[in-house]
Amino acid sequence: MNAVERYLRRATHGLWGQKKRDALTELRGAVEDKVYRHQLSGLSEGEAVTAALRDLGSPAVIARELGRVHTVPSLLRATLLAGMTGLLGIQAAAQLPTIQAAPVPVGQLCTFDESALARFFPEDQLRIRERIKAAGGREQYEAACRVRQPDTGLNSLLRLSDLIAALRMAQVEARTIPGTEAFVQLKVPGEDWQGLNLNEAVHFLPTGPGTAAKPGSRTEPYVYAENLISQLLYSFKGPLRLSGVVNPTLHIGPAQMQVGTTQRPVRATNLYQWAVYEEVTRLMRLDSPASAPAPRLGLSPDDGPHAGYSQLKVNAQDGAVYALVGSMNGEIGLAVRAVRAGRLELPCDCRSTPFTQTDSLKTLLAQARRGQSALMVFALDASDLRHLQLTPVPTAQLQLVSAP
């Protein structure tokens, strides 16, 4: 029994005879119509079937509604059938196309050759090169990294075919240029073609869930999420925004898509990082003395809650996003975090390192040059990724919960 037949069987559970046959005819037609539409958008037959069933929603809910439709007098049937059509439409509208995410393979998290370094921000590249030199060379640094290898919990890779399919579903033409691994062209109706050069961000993973890489095995391209956002910021001219905190909705022009799944979640805070990094870097240049060297800004990705990490109590709704800029041991770091249970988690257990809270970036930079620890918090308005608004939060509005 294939996936469609299993779905139809569950969706018509409880009906018998002619009523069941009528319901099967109605549902099968809905499935076939959706499969056809998904295939027009460029999906394969198997992918189109999966997307169609996902659009229709829970077969248990459909079974309950069909039971009402087919067990009432014929006078009411037309009214309920109209309601049933609305139900299927609402379920379809609620189901966005999804971009599957995946973590970087464990064996490659500690690879720091030049091609691997290219995906890091410039300041992080400099910091890693310094640490490689201090460790006595790349091989020694990579070996030490593998010893302390953490499970980062970061699903940093996004499946390229899902991105292209989601764009096509919104009538955005999308294609990969032949001869390239991940140079994507897209065309919004009424606009010219635009290019996203994701070749430097591409990573090939084995095809199929749970499969391991083997010589000669089939693979498919994934791209680093932060590189996708940066390319969209630089190259795409239409509206661009995010909504939601976990598995957020990415809006690219008229297209909307969910990034991440329950099994492989993606946090919006990590997708905001590049745009926030650019804006904070710009502000630091403005607030630094002309004679001072350009400040470096490191990143602390959001890999979920940590027991024992210091927290700030804030007067904001859960899900509100903040940028935390801190200095420690002369280095400056950036963390983007969302409010959870009325608190912001700092990217470290800071109890052993007392720090000063400030709402002036110029003060923080001066303290960093003196090797002192300081923290500044910005409230983030990210309604438009291209025009982020960072507002310093007065220190009086922040309460350190786990004091150093």
Q: What is the mean pLDDT of residues 356-365?
A: 91
Can you tell me the distance from the alpha carbon of 323 to that of 332, in angstroms, rounded to the nearest whole number? 13
Asked if residue 365 lies in contact with residue 287, where contact means CB atoms within 8 angstroms, the answer is: yes
- The 3-state DSSP class for residue 204 equals strand
| 395 — pLDDT class (breaks 50, 70, 90) | very high
Note whether residue 274 is domain-resident. no
- Last residue of some domain: 59, 88, 117? 88
Asked if residue 152 lies in contact with residue 267, where contact means CB atoms within 8 angstroms, the answer is: no
- Last residue of some domain: 231, 266, 301? 266
**Enclosing domain of residue 140:** 98-266
Extended beta strands in 253-401, E state: 255-259, 297-299, 311-313, 321-328, 331-338, 343-345, 356-357, 374-381, 389-392, 399-400
Same domain assignment for residues 111 and 158: yes
* DSSP structure string for 98-113: EE-EEPPPGGGTT--S
Can you tell me the distance from the alpha carbon of 391 to that of 393, in angstroms, rounded to the nearest whole number? 6
CA distances from 226 to 214, 241, 311, 394 (A): 27, 14, 26, 30
State residue 99's pLDDT score.
94
State pLDDT tens for residues 36-74.
666 655 567 777 788 778 777 777 777 776 665 544 444
Domain total for the chain?
A: 3
Can you tell me the distance from the alpha carbon of 277 to that of 243, in angstroms, rounded to the nearest whole number? 19
Q: Calculate ∠ Cα 174-36-96, nearest 5°.
A: 60
Same domain assignment for residues 140 and 244: yes
Q: Among candidates 189, 159, 160, 156, which has minimal Cα distance to 177?
A: 160
Note whether residue 279 is domain-resident. no
Same domain assignment for residues 237 and 117: yes
Note whether residue 284 is domain-resident. no
State pLDDT tens for residues 283-329.
998 888 877 776 788 888 898 888 778 889 998 888 899 999 998 87
State residue 363's pLDDT score.
92
The overall average pLDDT reported for the chain is 80
Same domain assignment for residues 188 and 249: yes
- Last residue of some domain: 88, 123, 146? 88
State residue 107's pLDDT score.
62
- pTM for this entry: 0.68
Q: What is the mean pLDDT of residues 194-217?
A: 71
